[in-house]
Structure 1
Amino acid sequence: MASELHLTPVLSDALVILGAAGIVIPVFARFRVTPIIGFILVGMAVGPFGLGRLVFDYPWLQYVTITDPQGLDPFAEFGIILLLFTIGLELSFNRLWSMRRLVFGLGALELTISAALVAFALMVMGQYWSGALGLGLALALSSTALVLPISGTKSPVGKAALSMLLFEDIAIVPIIFLLGAMAPYAASEGMDGLWTTLWTGALTVAVLMIGGRFMLPRLFAQAARTKSPELFLAASLLVVIIASLATAAVGLSPIVGALIAGLLIAETEYHTEVEGITAPFKGLALGIFLITVGMGVDLGVVIANIGPIAIAVAGVLTVKAVVTSVLLRMMGARRGTAVETGILMSAPSETTLIVMAAAASAQLIQPQTAQFWQIVTAIGLTITPILALIGKAVARRVDAAPPVSVDDGTQERSIIIGYGRVGQLVAEMMQKHGRPFLAIDADPELVHVARRKQHPLLYADARGPALDRIDLSGANAFILTMDEPVLAVRLVRKLRSSYPDVPIVTRARDTGHAAELYRAGATDAVPETLESSLQLSEAVLVNVGVAMGPVIASIHEKRDEFRDQLMLEGELSKRPKLKTSPTHS
């Protein structure tokens, strides 16, 4: 009986994967970094080319390593299917229509030109045209999971990246369809039978699309009536499995069926519920897939082929960065935006690995070739955050702008350090009340915003020595609005040391940060969490019928009470208390 309790290789590997997910996801989320990088690194560490090679010398390592990498292949394939299913769920026709010019113009050109250039280069180096096409399309993709959290979706860089990434998400459907259709005939020189697969595949897809529009709403309506999450999940998986089996039966990849299933469910009113139920499986499935990718990275091979790999990484990054930047400039984007977006979008994607796996299973590329480009892709994914920093630095240099209507430093005025969302609001209020001010920021995008609003702005980076070269002798107040707690504390100390009598009003993230700012010498520190709570309280009291006057008085009394408490915590309770101006949300 005791022997039956020993871990089997399959169970041991499953525990390693679950343990990796339990560690990687929260740790990388704590540092606001996508877990994609973490899963790849875990795969490299616990795989057969990492700690796995030491199992024979240290048998206990079998409990923390993957002992049967090939045994994970079915799980990795199922992970890819679930990942493509969730991509289909996330696509919205309304969203695409509102951005159709950028998505189908910029996005289509970027993917097509980048893929063509990479494919041409591979053909010149001897790769057969079908394999070059598959690799070109794969390497031309960029990472939605990495790029959008870094760039956001509201900045010019974020909007440009979003449009291209949306088109790439859509393009996965025909790309996988094309590779799947070529699969049975990839090894032959001729294309006999390809059209048979194409028309049978197209017919299957049409049947799935038409049948799904009629049947899926009824299926999920029945599942919803039971109010059982388990039945809802079972219905979702049933749709994915049926669609995948249908496309696999006619010679296409099951991934095509998973994508179609996601697109069909996305058009029903139940897609939000399906997304929520399948979200945990998406993260785990992606984790399994990326761990298998990491396990395929042999550091020995990397070191032995460091030259070709470095050239391949540099070549892919350069082609994609140049193509993206040139296209953005041709469509009217500023130089800094074009360069930063190009560098950020230059690395391959996690979907690159999916398309590459489809190309390999279609026998369009050899296993050794697939392994080489998997290593290139894994390196590209890992350095994407570094590319983002490089892109910002290069954009600052390329797009450096002169000051906007800035006079000499003798005029008495308030200095606003940080011209983001909060800084712009402060500047507008200063302008409305006729108070002179000067804003300071190092974001070239904000220079154009300041010009449009006719706000005096000096292009300078408060993090470096640039602030020391600015004549601030005429400052009657310093307002710090940046959302960088460590930088805010450092600047408060620096300004208090140089200007002991000038008021310093600063934004604080919370009450603990406010107390730290008071210790550093701030005159007033405004915690965001406290102010939002006070404004919420004011709105509630007014809406339940309390008179405005007593509400405002009580809000200011509570604000002063918190301020005195924070100053006491900051050991500055003896500092003269400035009169608080009444504010109203």
Structure 2
Amino acid sequence: MLDTQSFDQLLIILAAALASAVIFRRLYVPSIVAFLVAGAVIGPSVLDWVSEPERFSFLAEFGVVFLLFALGLEFSVPKLLRLKGPVFGVGSAQVFLCMLIFGSSAYFWGVSLEAAFVIAGALALSSTAIVTKELSTLGEVHTDHGRLSIGVLLFQDLIAVVLLIVVPVLGASSGEDLASALGLALAKGLMLAALLLAVGRWLLPSVYREVAKSQSSEIFVLSTLVIVMVAAWVTHAAGLSMALGAFVTGMMLGECHYKHQIESDIRGFRDILLGLFFVTIGMSVDTSLLVQYAPRIIFFTLALIGLKALIIGGLIRLLGYPAKPAAQSGLILSEAGEFGLALLTIAVSYGLLPNEQASFIMIVAVLSMALSPFLIRHGHHVVARWLKPSKLEANDEPEFSSEEKLVLVGGYGRVGKAVVRLLQVQQVPYLVIERDPEVVAAARRKGIRITYGDCTELSILSTCGIESAQLALLSFDTIEHATEVIEHIRSADITTPLMIRLPDATGIEELIAVGANHLFPEMVEATISAVSNVSKLLSLDETLTTKVESELRSEGL
């Protein structure tokens, strides 16, 4: 039974988490940082409202399990194979170099070899939660720097699995039998991962099919919780981390048909546990170090961000990508991540790392994570100041004559391919601008006039001759980005007609006001097409149908 003091302190933890999340949200600081700060404030080193954080260590254990389960759900094997260049090329080199540099620095700092390995692994990884959320909010997931960043994060998730296997072994084995213990642990980890993946592929779909027939959200949520905890228990019973079982479970459920329902049903429960987990981590941080070693902490934070940005950006550039997405990806991934915090917590529990050293590294990691949204949101401005214009425009040279009256087609997706087919049949000169190098290579093999670049960058559009083009068809994910680009085009005295493709009709009036000539909201046009087809099939009055279509267009439905 929960005693009165424990209940009071649990209430304090929940209230502090809520207040901190509300305040930090207004400052556009990630909720992860808010929870960590809340824990540090109410913990023993500041207000001492919760004097014995270890009494709530079970919350941290459950939090680690569900943190890794959430990361596993986001892990995608098809996406991993599709982004194999950034994943295995940049990702592997980045993790190796960062761990080598950070591990060597920590070892010369005076920590043990095992502690240096843990610190290196924690700092080499970036924040999947912050990066994916910010890129989604900005509508930049499918940009060059978005795809490159996601690719590197996928490899980091793979390395996270290995670290989950290695760290408990480092804490439980002596130097003499370490090699054999690591080999045995890796073998057990691979066998258990294969077993869990097999169960997820052939058994769990049948289980969820039966659960879904009940049409009960409570049973669905409970089933997921039991499955996650059983997987965590299996890996723990084998002498490995519980988080490993949770991550593999998330991976296998992430590929099934019930993934989105699982995410939806468990989100509230998962977010509460994750919030409590980060609060408990914050309570274990010795904040007196922040005052005692403030200059050193600031230096290490800036060094962490600078080194990771240079390493990641440089590696991406070596793969042949333009300088701008390379530099932006470096800034996006320059912070530490939530998994690093979990790894440090696990290391402390196994006695691999003293709490004072772990607190110092955690403070550095949290500060880097707090700066991350700013770097992601304003990275293009930072990059523009760093790089010369010639480097920003270092894309493939477009294949066209400046005297041609081209139609510029932004993107070679479904709409782009249809427009190109029309222009080819009508023998209208065109040039496609595509930001996926693999799509560019495949299209060129088919004889398509296509160049690599981002059609939303004014420098690329100018290089491709937008000033003399007949028409420019540009695609955007958000109304804000479209407005910004159109304003730049019109402020440069470019009068070329602009046809803008957007997901929906939100903000059409604003786009027209800043200079868009034609608008193509895909959702609206798809709706109107359905209405038109229904009218034809039922032989309805064409005049009334046209009137309804006009109303739908004006309403943006």
**Structure 2 residue 243 is the aligned partner of structure 1 residue 255:** yes
Partner of 2:507, secondary structure, is: helix
Amino acid at match of 1:390: G
Partner of 1:383, secondary structure, is: helix
1:84-126 Cα offsets, whole Å, 9 max, x none, are: 1233344444554555565344422321222122111211222
**Structure 2 residue 93 is the aligned partner of structure 1 residue 109:** yes
Quick one: structure 1 residues 554 and 52, their matched pair in 2 at CA, closer, same or farther if it must change by over 3 Å?
Answer: farther
Quick one: structure 1 residues 324 and 13, their matched pair in 2 at CA, closer, same or farther if it must change by over 3 Å?
Answer: closer
Quick one: structure 1 residues 557 and 70, their matched pair in 2 at CA, closer, same or farther if it must change by over 3 Å?
Answer: same
**Structure 2 residue 326 is the aligned partner of structure 1 residue 333:** no
**Structure 2 residue 223 is the aligned partner of structure 1 residue 235:** yes
Task: Say if 1:477 and 1:503, in contact at 8 Å, map to a contact too.
Answer: yes
Match of 1:399 in 2: 392
1:556-584 Cα offsets, whole Å, 9 max, x none, are: 65566678999xxxxxxxxxxxxxxxxxx
Match of 1:133 in 2: 117
What percentage of aligned pairs have identical amino acids?
Answer: 23
What is the deviation of 1:321?
2.5
* Residues in 1 aligned to 2:256 and 2:483: alpha-carbon distance in whole angstroms: 50
Task: Say if 1:179 and 1:359, in contact at 8 Å, map to a contact too.
Answer: yes
Of 521-530 and 101-110, more deviation after overlay is shown by: 521-530
Task: Say if 1:197 and 1:251, in contact at 8 Å, map to a contact too.
Answer: no
Task: Say if 1:40 and 1:294, in contact at 8 Å, map to a contact too.
Answer: no
Match of 2:531 in 1: 537
Amino acid at match of 2:532: E
- Mark the runs of 5 or more structure 1 residues left unpaired by the alignment: 56-61, 567-585
* Residues in 2 aligned to 1:318 and 1:106: alpha-carbon distance in whole angstroms: 17
What is the deviation of 1:417?
12
**Structure 2 residue 67 is the aligned partner of structure 1 residue 74:** no
Pick 1 or 2: higher relative contact order, CA cutoff 8 A, min separation 6: 2
What does residue range 366-377 of structure 1 map to in structure 2 within 5 Å?
366-377=354-365
What is the deviation of 1:198?
6.3
CA RMSD, 1 decimal = 5.3
Partner of 1:332, secondary structure, is: coil
Match of 1:279 in 2: 267
What does residue range 203-222 of structure 1 map to in structure 2 within 5 Å?
203=188, 206=191, 210=195, 213=198, 216-217=203-204
What is the deviation of 1:367?
0.9
Aligned length: 531
Match of 2:107 in 1: 123
Task: Say if 2:60 and 2:276, in contact at 8 Å, map to a contact too.
Answer: yes
Match of 2:8 in 1: 8
Of 511-520 and 244-253, more deviation after overlay is shown by: 511-520
Task: Say if 1:208 and 1:243, in contact at 8 Å, map to a contact too.
Answer: no
Quick one: structure 1 residues 322 and 556, their matched pair in 2 at CA, closer, same or farther if it must change by over 3 Å?
Answer: same
Quick one: structure 1 residues 133 and 423, their matched pair in 2 at CA, closer, same or farther if it must change by over 3 Å?
Answer: same
Task: Say if 1:85 and 1:258, in contact at 8 Å, map to a contact too.
Answer: yes
Quick one: structure 1 residues 476 and 179, their matched pair in 2 at CA, closer, same or farther if it must change by over 3 Å?
Answer: closer
Rg larger in structure? 1
**Structure 2 residue 151 is the aligned partner of structure 1 residue 167:** no
Amino acid at match of 2:41: P
Partner of 1:348, secondary structure, is: coil
Task: Say if 1:44 and 1:296, in contact at 8 Å, map to a contact too.
Answer: no
TM-score w.r.t. the length of structure 2 is: 0.72
What is the deviation of 1:404?
5.3
Task: Say if 2:59 and 2:280, in contact at 8 Å, map to a contact too.
Answer: no
* Residues in 1 aligned to 2:505 and 2:531: alpha-carbon distance in whole angstroms: 17
Amino acid at match of 1:338: A
Amino acid at match of 1:122: A
**Structure 2 residue 71 is the aligned partner of structure 1 residue 87:** yes
Task: Say if 1:415 and 1:477, in contact at 8 Å, map to a contact too.
Answer: yes
What is the deviation of 1:343?
2.6
* Residues in 2 aligned to 1:377 and 1:326: alpha-carbon distance in whole angstroms: 22
* Residues in 2 aligned to 1:296 and 1:313: alpha-carbon distance in whole angstroms: 20
Match of 1:176 in 2: 164
Partner of 1:365, secondary structure, is: coil
Match of 1:390 in 2: 379
Match of 1:48 in 2: 41
Amino acid at match of 2:529: Q
* Residues in 2 aligned to 1:492 and 1:326: alpha-carbon distance in whole angstroms: 31
Task: Say if 2:196 and 2:249, in contact at 8 Å, map to a contact too.
Answer: no
* Residues in 2 aligned to 1:224 and 1:562: alpha-carbon distance in whole angstroms: 37
Of 520-529 and 127-136, more deviation after overlay is shown by: 520-529
1:390-443 Cα offsets, whole Å, 9 max, x none, are: 3553567432259958988xx89799898898997899577876778999x9x9
What is the deviation of 1:460?
11
* Residues in 2 aligned to 1:493 and 1:200: alpha-carbon distance in whole angstroms: 58
Quick one: structure 1 residues 438 and 559, their matched pair in 2 at CA, closer, same or farther if it must change by over 3 Å?
Answer: farther
Task: Say if 1:181 and 1:194, in contact at 8 Å, map to a contact too.
Answer: no
Match of 1:144 in 2: 128
Task: Say if 2:409 and 2:416, in contact at 8 Å, map to a contact too.
Answer: no
Quick one: structure 1 residues 175 and 516, their matched pair in 2 at CA, closer, same or farther if it must change by over 3 Å?
Answer: closer
What is the deviation of 1:196?
5.4
Partner of 1:346, secondary structure, is: coil
What is the deviation of 1:292?
4.0
1:121-141 Cα offsets, whole Å, 9 max, x none, are: 211222211111111111111
Match of 2:368 in 1: 380
Partner of 2:41, secondary structure, is: coil
* Residues in 2 aligned to 1:261 and 1:461: alpha-carbon distance in whole angstroms: 39
1:129-160 Cα offsets, whole Å, 9 max, x none, are: 11111111111112222333428554333333
1:262-293 Cα offsets, whole Å, 9 max, x none, are: 45555776656544433333333323333445
**Structure 2 residue 347 is the aligned partner of structure 1 residue 359:** yes
Quick one: structure 1 residues 421 and 71, their matched pair in 2 at CA, closer, same or farther if it must change by over 3 Å?
Answer: farther
What is the deviation of 1:216?
5.0
Of 287-296 and 330-339, more deviation after overlay is shown by: 287-296
Quick one: structure 1 residues 538 and 173, their matched pair in 2 at CA, closer, same or farther if it must change by over 3 Å?
Answer: same
Quick one: structure 1 residues 376 and 435, their matched pair in 2 at CA, closer, same or farther if it must change by over 3 Å?
Answer: same
* Residues in 1 aligned to 2:90 and 2:485: alpha-carbon distance in whole angstroms: 41
- Mark the runs of 5 or more structure 2 residues left unpaired by the alignment: none
TM-score w.r.t. the length of structure 1 is: 0.69
What is the deviation of 1:362?
1.9
What is the deviation of 1:78?
0.9
Quick one: structure 1 residues 535 and 316, their matched pair in 2 at CA, closer, same or farther if it must change by over 3 Å?
Answer: same
Match of 1:513 in 2: 507
What does residue range 438-477 of structure 1 map to in structure 2 within 5 Å?
none
Of 117-126 and 517-526, more deviation after overlay is shown by: 517-526
